[in-house]
Every structure is written in structure tokens, then in C-alpha cells.
Homo-oligomer: A and B are copies of this chain.
Amino acid sequence: MTQEGKIEAILFAAGQAVKIRTLAEALEVTEEEVRELLKRLKEEYVKNHRGIDIVIFEDKVEMCTNDSYGDIVRKALKMEITQGLSQAALEVLAIIAYNQPITKAEIERIRGVRSDKPINTLLEYNLIKESGRASSPGRPILYSTTEDFLKYFGISSLKELPEIEPTS
């Protein structure tokens, strides 16, 4: 048995995101050591073009397929090609990621255009969620990004988003 093997086995068997703390407790090592092991594991996956990969977000880690094998996976499993995210959906997602929680009206003010459709698309993809209501008149719905957003975009935490300059 190896430490990497243990982590690999746990992550595979879990079939969902596993807390770093859980891994530390199971392996009886510190969380820092787990993070170090995860780093080594990921490096090994990348270097050897493995079909599997891991994505670390916030205090969790989940096993997934390697992005570069996406086409063949879809082909083999006859997955319908879901429509990718439109430019509009990506713009709305960017705005929500940097300003969450945020209302539809604010999103539309920044984009200068109605945004119901892209918001619905993002909700269907579970990349954003309703996260309460603003205290402003009409108590409009507030939107935030989800864990799936971090998972599918490989962003380890919201803090990792590139900084944006106030002016260009």
C-alpha cells in the first residue's frame, strides 16, 4: 500500500467530493501532508497522461476525468453533446463570480442587456444558485456561484480568480 494509493482508492470509492480533513484523519497524517500528497498525485496524473485527474476546491478534493479525454469519453458513452455555454452565459457567470451575491438588475446594468436566458442556462447547469433575497424594494433574488462552478472551472477557491483592474 502507498499513501497515494490510499487517497486514490478513497477518492474513487467516494464518487463525490471528499474533505481534505477526512483524508488526513483516515491516513493519520496532517492536512498539509494530504495537500502535498494530492499535489504529487496530480503531477503523476498529468505527467503520465492518465485518464483520471483530481480537482481541488476549497477544502475538498474530487476525482474526475482528464479534460483532454473529453471527446473520446463522450463518443464511447454516447453522451449527447450538451450545448456549451454561450458568450452571454459566460459574461453573466463572470459578473456573478466577482460580485456575488448579486441581483439580476445589477447584472443587466453591467451588461446593458436583458439576461434572463443566460441566468436560466446557468441555473440549469447548476453553476449558479439563488442565495437569498436583497433587502432592496421588491426583494429581488440574489445569485451566487456554486461548488460545481469551482469543479468545472478548476478554480480552487473564489480567491483564486484573477484580479481585475478597476480601469484598463
How many chain copies does the complex carry? 2
Known: A66-B5, A72-B6. Is A13-B77 also a contact (CB below 8 A)?
yes
Name which residue of chain B comes closest to A7, CB basis. Answer: B51
The count of residues in chain A whose C-beta lies closer than 8 Å to any C-beta of chain B is 42
A22 contacts partner chain B, Cβ-Cβ < 8 Å: yes
B-contact 0/1 string along A12-41, CB 8 Å cutoff: 111110110011011100000000000000
B114 and A10 within 8 A (CB): no
Complex interface: chain B residues within 8 A of A76 (CB): 10, 14, 18, 22-23, 25-26
B-contact 0/1 string along A128-152, CB 8 Å cutoff: 0000000000000000000000000
Known: A5-B66, A66-B5. Is A11-B51 also a contact (CB below 8 A)?
yes
C-alpha spacing A6/B69, complex, angstroms: 6
Name which residue of chain B comes closest to A21, CB basis. Answer: B79
B10 and A49 within 8 A (CB): no
CB distance from A112 to the nearest CB of B (A): 9
Name A's B-contacting residues (CB within 8 A). 1-2, 4-16, 18-19, 22-23, 25-27, 48-52, 63, 65-66, 68-69, 72-73, 75-77, 79-81, 86, 114
